[in-house]
Amino acid sequence: MDKGFVHILNKHRSLIYKVCNLYCNDPEDRKDLFQEIVFQIWKSLGSFRNESAVSTWMYRIALNTAITHFKKDKRSVKPISITGIDFPELDEDLAEREGLRQLTHAIEHLDKIDKSIILLYLEEKSYEEISDITGLSKSNVGVRINRIKTKLSQTLK
């Protein structure tokens, strides 16, 4: 296997895990999705033109693959838990963990695209980066983030 590919994969593998955990509840489905994402990244490596950050390019492939993965297999996608996603900047204080649990529960009920947008937002990606990854316009990203925040706020009340 190409050393450059292995280096890129090792450096950014956590973003693939986050996407897999966001879209799959079943461990076997997560493994399948992880392999499919890695395969899609491998296939696309030759077409990467360095017009964006490698992580932006990988997020785009990972999210697009996750969104279409189960359609190809004709499996039904069930709401899943995102508790496996690690947000290391969060304090382990009990009140904050309870708040994270509630936020996680609210995010679970978002549609696939909104989940990907809020994941990127929580990863502190800029609107421009989110736009590059999702293919949405920068202004649409801003509108959708505001709507998602409103939806989450209403759910958490």
Per-residue model confidence as pLDDT tens digits over 21-31? 888 878 888 89
Domain 3-156's class?
mainly alpha
Answer for the pair 131, 138: CB distance below 8 angstroms, yes or no: yes
CB 1 within 8 A of CB 7: no
Residues 91-131: pLDDT tens digits?
445 555 677 778 877 888 888 889 889 988 988 889 999 99
Structure tokens at 12: 């950014």
Q: How far apart are the first and last CA of the chain?
A: 50
| pLDDT of amino acid 79 | 47
